[in-house]
Amino acid sequence: MSGDRIPAREPAELVPASARLRAEGVELVELSFVDNAGIVRVKTAPLDRLSELARYGLGASPCFETFTFDDMMLRGTHLGGPDGDLRLIPDISRLTHLAAMPGWAWAPADKFTQDGPRFVGCQRAFAARQVEAAASMDLSVSAAFEHEWTLAEPGVEEFVPAISGSGYGQVRLESLADFGLALVRTMREQGLDVLQFHPEYALGQAELSVAAKDPVGAADDAVLARHTIRAVTRRHGWRASFAPCLVPEGAGSGAHLHLSVHDENGNLLAGGPGRHGLQAAGEAFLAGVLRELPALVAIGAGNPASFLRLGPSRWAGIWQVWGREAREAALRLITGTEGTQSWAANAEVKCFDATANPYLAVGAVIAAGLAGVREELTLPDEITGDPALLTESARAEAGIERLPAGPAEAADALASSEVLAEALEPELHDAIVTVRRGEAERFADATPDELAAATRWTW
């Protein structure tokens, strides 16, 4: 992770990386960043320029801070518009040969101004600041994203599943076998630690999980994993979509965020006197996340199409509640099996999807959790079962509230969140709200079919 100013590097520092990549046949290097609409943007340059890139970066317009997912340029109070320029500085420690794209390498980029200081809207830096804030409280966080996506036949705008068979079924796995083997091999070649791969529930859907690591690294992994999945899928003759909904009324694809919080003695979500082994600081962290979930939806699933997925009785986590292994709760506690709790216990934020900027997602969840620790919050009663099966009065009596049901409502929740406004700082907070409100207004009258079509091949 780069510092607060463009790092000073000598050309000799880059010689080993350049030599290794050249020996692997790399000719071009891709630098990526993720904007506030969740779109991965890229600039590329020949490998011969790696030393120059590492010292001075590549230019990029700051206009993308207020671009919508369909490339409409908005202006926020602080950011956006046609003026100015930034420098994209690659994180050389994450420079990766793209095994699925011969001749290419990739690195995530940090954003700096032309005068040297870090750009106020750098989402990767926001995530790093939250990691540092946790460290200042003698805490650390491990994180990982699940990846759900749909495999489709190419050449048509409509969705035609590339594979068939029951969810989690062996028949579907048989049709995925060669693809899955190639994918996992490629992921491992690129340094991604794959934990599991399987056919999922929805039409043509698969899922893959990678191991947890530090939050910035987990967000980097999310970008690289999806990039790799799309490339391997294309080489296999299919098309991949991470969109939250391809078919209205059908099950969609999420990007659930898993995380655990630790102090010097270990995992705070296990080994304690609280419910299911929670320690006081671990419970307070989860209580902070639970409190901020309405605002977190705008960051983790704020696209208009996200709300096609966020329906009741779909395990999408639309309720602002928590519970152990409660798949209808937005915040699910996973304690692990007997003997694994100390390292396996984690919490899953189920309402997120791949339209989120992963750096914003991990950073915002950490900020919410740290606020809970500072305020020594406690969790309410947990839930079991499906709240959708209760009457409205029963839900009200139990304190079960639904998360925002549309993008404008989610944007308003983010706008009014003091915790996230302080953590994001004025410029980035306003830019995200601007994008989410702009998308909400632009697609306010769109039908579910129109929304699905507009986003089907965007992620």
201 and 234, same domain (yes or no): yes
Under 8 Å between Cβ of 325 and 331: no
Residue ending a domain, choose from 94, 117, 140: 117
The CATH number that applies at residue 204 is 3.30.590.10
CA distance 214 to 27: 30
User: Who's near 256: CB < 8 A, 6+ residues apart?
Assistant: 145, 146, 348, 349, 350, 352
144 and 54, same domain (yes or no): no
Specify burial of residue 51 (Cβ count, 10 A radius: 0-12, 13-18, 19+): middle
211 and 84, same domain (yes or no): no
94 and 136, same domain (yes or no): no
Q: Residue 449: beta bridge partners? A: none
140-152 and 104-113 strand pairing: unpaired
Under 8 Å between Cβ of 312 and 318: yes
Residue ending a domain, choose from 68, 84, 117: 117
- Is 309 within the bounds of a domain? yes
329-334 and 319-324 strand pairing: parallel
CA angle 363, 368, 371 (to 5 degrees): 125
67 and 179, same domain (yes or no): no
81 and 134, same domain (yes or no): no
67 and 170, same domain (yes or no): no
Residue ending a domain, choose from 83, 117, 151: 117
pLDDT of residue 14: 66
- Is 124 within the bounds of a domain? no
Residue-wise pLDDT for 263-287, tens only, equals 999 999 999 999 999 999 999 999 9
Domain of 313, in residue numbers: 129-455
- Is 4 within the bounds of a domain? no
Name the region of 165 (left: φ>0; alpha: ψ -120 to 50; beta: rest). Answer: left
Under 8 Å between Cβ of 321 and 330: yes
CA distances to 31, 89, 104, 400 from 22, in Å: 17, 20, 10, 57
- Is 171 within the bounds of a domain? yes
- Is 3 within the bounds of a domain? no
434 and 328, same domain (yes or no): yes
User: Who's near 409: CB < 8 A, 6+ residues apart?
Assistant: none
Distance of CA 453 to the CA centre of its chain: 22
- Is 57 within the bounds of a domain? yes
281 and 348, same domain (yes or no): yes
155 and 76, same domain (yes or no): no
Tokens of 402: 């639904």
* Phi, psi for residue 28 in degrees, rounded to 5: -130, 145
Rg of the chain taking only CA atoms, in angstroms: 21
The CATH number that applies at residue 34 is 3.10.20.70
pLDDT of residue 294: 98
Report mean pLDDT in 10-residue bins for the chain, 459 residues: 65 74 95 98 95 92 95 92 92 94 97 92 98 98 97 90 89 93 96 95 92 98 98 96 91 94 97 96 98 98 96 92 95 92 94 98 98 98 94 93 97 98 98 98 96 95
Q: pTM of the entire structure?
A: 0.96
pLDDT of residue 1: 47
357 and 435, same domain (yes or no): yes
112 and 135, same domain (yes or no): no
pLDDT of residue 82: 85
Largest Cα separation within the chain, whole Å, is 68
- Total number of domains in the chain: 2
CA distance 278 to 286: 10
State whether residue 416 is helix, strand or coil. coil
- Is 223 within the bounds of a domain? yes
- Is 1 within the bounds of a domain? no
